[in-house]
């Protein structure tokens, strides 16, 4: 794994409050380069993870729940039989924050285990 992802995974999410600005387009571009396979769409980032079966999919979702609880930053998750779509946005800033990228990087690391 490259050092850039490690930098994100070493960080902890910080509380976001209303009135804080979302990340700029330039900041999003830099952070998107540090993720693998994530898609930027308006005010969110998303990725679809594929699995062999439902059991693996649900185990992955449960691991995401654990990470989300620890970071206090929660994604929208859509679950199918053998796939899981994860979407991050920061509602408090009405766009993206660094927290979204920290959690995305941590989930990617989990998927590689």
Q: Delimit the domains of the chain by residue range.
A: 39-113
Predicted local confidence at residue 69, as pLDDT: 94
CA distance 38 to 41: 10
* Non-local CB neighbours of 83 within 8 Å, separated by 6+ positions: 48, 49, 50, 51, 57
Question: Would you write out the chain's pLDDT as a tens digit for each of its 113 residues?
Answer: 444 555 888 888 888 777 789 999 999 999 999 999 999 998 999 999 999 999 999 999 999 999 999 999 999 999 999 999 999 999 999 999 999 999 999 999 887 75
In CATH, the number for domain 39-113 is: 3.30.1360.20
79 pairs with which residues across the strands? Answer: 84
- Say what the pTM is: 0.89
């Amino acid at each position: 794994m490259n050092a850039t992802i490690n930098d994100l995974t070493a960080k902890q999410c910080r509380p976001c409050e209303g009135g804080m600005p979302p990340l700029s387009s330039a900041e999003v571009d830099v952070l998107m380069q540090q993720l693998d396979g994530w898609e930027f769409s308006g005010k969110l980032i998303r990725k679809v993870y594929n699995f062999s079966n439902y059991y693996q999919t649900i185990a992955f979702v449960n691991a995401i729940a654990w990470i989300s609880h620890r970071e206090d930053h929660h994604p929208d998750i859509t679950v199918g039989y053998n796939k899981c779509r994860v979407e991050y946005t920061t509602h408090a800033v009405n766009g993206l924050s660094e927290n979204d990228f920290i959690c995305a990087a941590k989930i990617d690391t989990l998927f590689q285990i």
